[in-house]
A and B are shown apart, each in its own frame.
Chain A
Amino acid sequence: MEHIVVGLNHKTAPVSLREKLAVDPAKLDQTLKALVNLDCVDEGLIVSTCNRMEVYAVARNGYHCVQGIENFVADLNHLGLDALKPHLYEYRELDAIRHVFRVASSLDSLVVGEAQISGQVKEAYRKALEARTTGLFLNRWMHRAFFVAKKIRTDTKVSQKKVSVGSAAVELAKKIFGDLSSKKVALIGAGEVAELVLGYLESEGVYDVSILNRNIEKARGLADLGLGEAYSLDSLEEVLHSADVVIASVSTAQPILGREKTAGLMAVRKHRPIFFIDLGVPRNLDSAIQTLSNVYLYNIDDLQEVVDSNMTERLSEAGKAEILVEKEASQFYESVVRQVPTIAALGKKFDTIRRRELERTLGKLSHLGEDEKKAVERCTEAIVDKILHDPVLILKSEGPLRHDSGVHELLKKLFRLDDE
């Protein structure tokens, strides 16, 4: 049994590649089922956000399975594995467990300590639960990851300062415009990220917000929160005549704004500066628009720049969080990956012996009635349970034996557990 992570993120792959691998939410269920249909994969989960695409799997044969999952990821968008391979990372066992803990705790994020990723991983887990592609091991793994994430949020200051991709974007806007409170902001798309950005803008005193969405009802929903007016996406140009900051995070296959259209807009605006923040993957805005004068365009990768300048003070806190993750990961690895199989194998061995002996004995005692037979069976069960009670309790409880891999090895040898 092996814990495996295969994937890519903002550090290893550019947005142009990540957008190709983003899993369509409508097809996630089907994709998850295809994942666990791979020969070696028992349990699986897919995290697909704008910054990462990762597969978490529990597998029977670690090495071959990594290759199987890599091929699976490459096939998702008919990309050749050769082209994809340099951007992929793979983690197994302790490394995989540690990686998932770090991701859920937002230590592996673009903005360390940002709050979105924890929710996104939870959502991915919920989707996997719905698709019934999780099991005992993945459940334990993910629950532990959420526990560790919560612990890090409360025990360290890594998430105390509200920083995320959204707030990094707002900070950039401040670098161009200074005081944002008098600026007009257009928010295209009413997704989760868009709502977060809105929150950051509110804290900067922004009150003039135009909220655009394909679905005007969604836009109205946000507008009803007290910020700005709702527009349909058709009024995009009209809104952009006066907006200063444009935050785009809508899911679209084609860019919603190209260079020529923007050049026309700039003429109407008398070339007043405009700041586009493209949070969407695939990208919402044609990257050619940044060649226009007084047009500033940052996509999700570019935000890394801003993030870096804010990062220094968070790093010491992140250091504490890393120590916590390391401790939790190795504990979990020891307890689940080593202890659970030992206990399970021990239980299975004793039960096999019990069943075999019970069968032989009951065969000789044919005069017994059904009730008596059941009483004998219960008696054997009770004997096995009582024998195993103390050792299992000691192995499970916090103490020196729990993390002593020698004990697990000894048990395996003493009871020939590997032969089963």
Chain B
Amino acid sequence: MPATISYSNGFLVVLGSYILATVFYCLRSIFGKKILSAIALRITVAALIIHAIFLGSHLLEQGYPFLVSPFDTFQLVSFCVVFTFVLLCFLYRFFATGLILLPAGLVFNILSLTTLVRYRAPGHFLENPWAFIHLVFVFIGLAVFMVSFVVGIIYLIQEYRIKHKKTGGLFERFPPLEILDHIHYRSLYIGFVFFTIGIITGGGWSKSMVGVYVTGDLKQLLSFGAWIFFALFLNLRVSRGWVGRRGILLSCIGFAAVFFLFTWVQRL
């Protein structure tokens, strides 16, 4: 029964835990005590595990077709954002991003529980298994791109501050530029891989539904355009000197443009 959204208490517990963790990250930034971020990370990890369990059981309970409602998609994106953040924490001791990534995860989580965004994908489209695979890859790709975008924004702010000789404050505790740059591009590459798979599986879906891989509708053209942009960008960035601030600025603008275009196309 996909039409009725199960506002199960479990998802509220997850949301509450993410909020609590965010509060601890805020306290960590204010007081600078390491123990606070350690507590926040533990809360986040525990909440993420619970989130995975609830998301899994929700999927099993609902069965096909999945991802037909904003609840499903926003929950998945929220999960992916928090998961990527936890991964970053363990790889780079990157607690400070918690202040931005965790709230980003929260926004999607809250969106899923409200009726602010309403759509209802036609059921017969999603009964096709290609649809599920396609959407999962696209949304994971979106979450990873989102992380890349957020880290890029932090880089740009941090870079501006170093260049203009401003120190102190919250950004004092953020990682060095080189690490931010590294995380930005690594997540951009990973996001690109998911995005590519998403496009291919999208073609498969199209083929099985209407018999052709490419229908030429606006969304498909836009996806190809975005794919070519990032493909060119990732290949040319070193040889063209798009490194450091310039490269990150370009990729962030690219991401924001693609994001808004997709949102616009979705409304047509």
CB distance from B90 to the nearest CB of A (A): 17
Residue of B nearest to A271 (CB): B241
CB distance from A287 to the nearest CB of B (A): 12
Contacts of A176 in B (CB 8 A): 162, 176-178
Contacts of A174 in B (CB 8 A): 176
CB distance from A115 to the nearest CB of B (A): 23
- B167 near A308 with CB under 8 A, answer yes
Please judge, given known A-B contacts A176-B162, A176-B177, A296-B162, whether A273 and B167 are in contact too, CB under 8 Å: no
- A271 near B244 with CB under 8 A, answer yes
**Taking the complex as formed, is A203 at the interface, i.e. its CB lies under 8 A from any CB of chain B?**
no
Partner of B167, one of A177, A266, A296, A309: A309
CB distance from B53 to the nearest CB of A (A): 36
- B162 near A272 with CB under 8 A, answer no
A294 to B244, CA, bound (A): 6
**Taking the complex as formed, is A175 at the interface, i.e. its CB lies under 8 A from any CB of chain B?**
yes
Contacts of A271 in B (CB 8 A): 241-244, 246
A177 to B178, CA, bound (A): 5
Q: Total interface residues on B, using CB and 8 Å?
A: 20
- A305 near B165 with CB under 8 A, answer yes
A296 to B178, CA, bound (A): 13
**Taking the complex as formed, is B216 at the interface, i.e. its CB lies under 8 A from any CB of chain A?**
no
CB distance from A89 to the nearest CB of B (A): 25
- B162 near A267 with CB under 8 A, answer no
Name B's interface SS.
Answer: loop
A178 to B242, CA, bound (A): 21
Contacts of A71 in B (CB 8 A): none
Please judge, given known A-B contacts A174-B176, A175-B162, whether A308 and B244 are in contact too, CB under 8 Å: no
Name A's interface SS.
Answer: helix
Please judge, given known A-B contacts A178-B175, A273-B244, whether A296 and B238 are in contact too, CB under 8 Å: no
CB distance from B30 to the nearest CB of A (A): 15
- A175 near B176 with CB under 8 A, answer yes
CB distance from A413 to the nearest CB of B (A): 57
**Taking the complex as formed, is A293 at the interface, i.e. its CB lies under 8 A from any CB of chain B?**
yes
- A293 near B178 with CB under 8 A, answer no
- Point out which of A178, A290, A296, A302 has the most chain B C-beta atoms below 10 A from its C-beta: A178
A267 to B243, CA, bound (A): 11
Contacts of B179 in A (CB 8 A): 178
21 A–B contacts, CB within 8 A, in A order: A175-B176, A175-B177, A176-B177, A267-B241, A270-B238, A270-B239, A270-B241, A271-B242, A272-B243, A272-B244, A273-B177, A273-B244, A294-B243, A294-B245, A296-B163, A298-B165, A305-B165, A305-B166, A305-B167, A308-B168, A309-B167
Give residues in A with beta carbon < 8 Å to B: 172, 174-178, 266-267, 270-273, 290, 293-294, 296, 298, 302, 305-306, 308-309
Give residues in B with beta carbon < 8 Å to A: 162-163, 165-168, 172, 175-179, 238-239, 241-246
